[in-house]
Every structure is written in structure tokens, then in C-alpha cells.
Amino acid sequence: MRPRRLAAIAFLLYLGHVPEVLVRHPLQDLLWACDAAALALSAGLALGSARVVAASTIALLAGLPLWVTDLLTGGEWLWTSPFIHLGSPAVGLIGLKSLGVPRFSGLVALGLVAAVTLAARLAGAPAENVNLAFATPDAFTRLIPSHALDLSLTGALVAAECLVAEAVLRRELSPA
């Protein structure tokens, strides 16, 4: 499928999720890393940018286990969340089959996650705790009592996920 058609699908998935977020939460909740990555994915596909598509897809894949963990520990379910967490990475993977996966896309993905986490910290409210920028989730405070430790561990996990995802995607999805 052509990247521009995939861009339209990716953007529709994002647009389908935005109203549900804004009905329940303030605008800053669109700074969740997966929401930002889904929007970047549609832009990358529209521009035919392999690096943006790869970084966005990798960030979405890295966020998937964190989203599932959040749900399993009592996090809020939005009925449109699968658009972002399942639909967007699927579209990204299809796009990468034709665009390929440039070197260092995992580092770019990590930079995207770090940038939106910093933006959430600077522009967000502690009560929303977007990207866990303010506090360790309640379900994990016994296990990880320090927010600095939580950010360090989560950052290390996301970094590992991004680097492994890049390696696997470069091997499996790069054009022959």
C-alpha cells in the first residue's frame, strides 16, 4: 500500500482517538508518547520519511507493553486506545515494509519519547501524570518508592525496547 494512503489511515486512527481523550482529560493528555508517536507516524507516512515512520513505529511498539501493564494494574480504559496502541503500529509496520528502517531509528524513537515526556513535565499538571513525568504509578510505589528510580528504570526499559525493535525491524522489514 502506498505511504500516502497509509498516512490517511494513520491520521484517521489518531483523529478517532482524540475526541475520546479530550472528553475525559485536558489537552495535555495528547502528549502521551504513544499519541505523539501516532501523530508523527501519519506525518512521516505523508512525507514518505522512512526515519520518521520507523521512529514513530518503534516508539509505539515500545509503548505497547507499558500500556498493557497500565491496564492490568488498574489504569483507565479508553475504548479508542486500541486505535493508537494496535492500529497505529500495524500501519507503521506496513509502511516500513516499503520504506525500510534507517539506522539509528531506535535512538530517534527514544528521543521522541524523551521529548514528549519533558514537554509533559513542563506543560502538564501533576494530577494527569502524562508519561509518568511527575510520579510513580500507585500500583508500583511499593516496588519502586523513588520517582527518580522509576524514571531511570522505565527509561532504560524503553531504550532497550527501542534498540531491540530497531534491530529486529531492520532485519525483518527492510526491502530486499
Q: Is the alpha carbon torsion for 127, 24, 112, 170 positive or negative?
A: positive
Looking at residue 3, its pLDDT comes to: 78
pLDDT range class, residue 122, cuts 50, 70, 90: very high
Q: What does the domain layout of the chain look like in residue ranges?
A: 3-173
Q: Is the alpha carbon torsion for 102, 84, 63, 168 positive or negative?
A: negative
Task: Give 143-158 pLDDT, tens digit per residue.
Answer: 999 999 999 999 999 9
Looking at residue 44, its pLDDT comes to: 97
Task: Give 66-107 pLDDT, tens digit per residue.
Answer: 999 999 999 999 999 999 999 999 999 999 999 999 999 999
Q: How far apart are the first and last CA of the chain?
A: 17
- Amino acid identity of 125? A
Element (H, E) at 175: none
What is the pLDDT averaged over residues 34-63? 97
Cα gap 118→133, rounded to integer Å: 7
- Nearest C-alpha neighbor of 88 from the set 26, 32, 134, 131: 32
Neighbour-count burial for 77-99, b at 16+ CB within 10 Å, e otherwise: ebebbebbbebbbebbbbbbeeb
Residue 132 DSSP symbol: G
Cα gap 46→3, rounded to integer Å: 6
pLDDT range class, residue 175, cuts 50, 70, 90: low
Contact 73, 132 (CB under 8 A): no
